[in-house]
């Protein structure tokens, strides 16, 4: 999943529910893109920007857990939150 609307992995419905992340056992708030199966995230490198004005992203590897912050519309969250 990605927060960039230009990405093919952008999912507005999932992002509207709110997504939380644990990376290497620590809560992370600023993650641009992630892949649970390959154990990586892409996060901004401070305030640095690329030549198009988008945040410069660094790829970090480690255990990734993602969860929804709010239950699905008309139901409960799958993880019990």
Q: Rounded to an integer, what distance in angstroms lies between the CA atom of residue 5 and that of residue 52?
A: 15
- The pLDDT tens digits of the residues spanning 30-50 come to 998 999 999 999 999 999 999
- The pLDDT tens digits of the residues spanning 1-28 come to 888 888 898 888 888 888 899 999 999 9
Whether 48 is in a domain gets the answer: yes
Torsion angle of alpha carbons 1, 35, 63, 79, nearest 10°? 40
Whether 3 is in a domain gets the answer: no
Specify the number of domains making up the chain: 1
Whether 16 is in a domain gets the answer: no
Q: Rounded to an integer, what distance in angstroms lies between the CA atom of residue 3 and that of residue 11?
A: 8
Q: Rounded to an integer, what distance in angstroms lies between the CA atom of residue 13 and that of residue 64?
A: 21
Name the band, by pLDDT with cuts 50, 70 and 90, for residue 62: very high
Whether 1 is in a domain gets the answer: no
Whether 9 is in a domain gets the answer: no
Name the band, by pLDDT with cuts 50, 70 and 90, for residue 76: low
Name the band, by pLDDT with cuts 50, 70 and 90, for residue 81: low
Please give the residue range of the domain that contains residue 54: 26-73
């Amino acid at each position: 999943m990605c927060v960039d609307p230009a990405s093919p992995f952008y999912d507005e419905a999932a992002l509207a529910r709110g997504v939380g992340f644990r990376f290497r056992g620590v809560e992370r708030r600023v993650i641009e893109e992630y892949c649970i199966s390959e154990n990586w995230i892409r996060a901004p490198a401070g305030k640095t920007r690329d030549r198009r004005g988008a945040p410069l992203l660094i790829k970090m590897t480690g255990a990734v857990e993602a969860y929804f912050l709010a239950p699905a519309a008309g139901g409960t969250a799958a993880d019990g939150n």
